[in-house]
Amino acid sequence: MAESYKIKDEEGLYFMTITTVGWVDLFIRNRYKYVIIDAWQYFMDKKGLNAHAYVIMSSHLHAIVSSEPTFKLVDTIRASKNSTQNN
């Protein structure tokens, strides 16, 4: 992770962009949008993620996120990446 992308304040809000490989228009299908929404709901319920705002575009999503005080945002983001890579 580049220095400019490191989480420096665990209590802060962060703007994230997540893209599909090759910018494929994957999220034009509702079932794939709901996979993302269900995954985010899991991380909000179980891993302390706070999604303050998000928008799902056809090939990427933007979100403003933070974490609950007892969780580290960097660990939550790492866990979400690992869960998607293993599927």
In this prediction, residues 64-87 reach a mean pLDDT of 79
Q: Quick check: 54 pLDDT over 70? A: yes
Averaged pLDDT score across all residues of the chain: 86
Q: Is residue 5 included in any domain, yes or no?
A: no
pLDDT at residue number 5: 64
pLDDT at residue number 1: 44
Q: Is residue 2 included in any domain, yes or no?
A: no
Q: Quick check: 3 pLDDT over 80? A: no
Q: Quick check: 72 pLDDT over 70? A: yes
Of 16, 65, 20, nearest to 43 (Cα)?
A: 65
Q: What are 49's strand-pairing partners? A: 67
- pLDDT, greater one: 85 or 9: 9
Domain ranges, residue 42: 10-85
Instruction: Tally the domains of the chain.
Output: 1
Q: Is residue 64 included in any domain, yes or no?
A: yes
Q: What are 65's strand-pairing partners? A: 14, 51
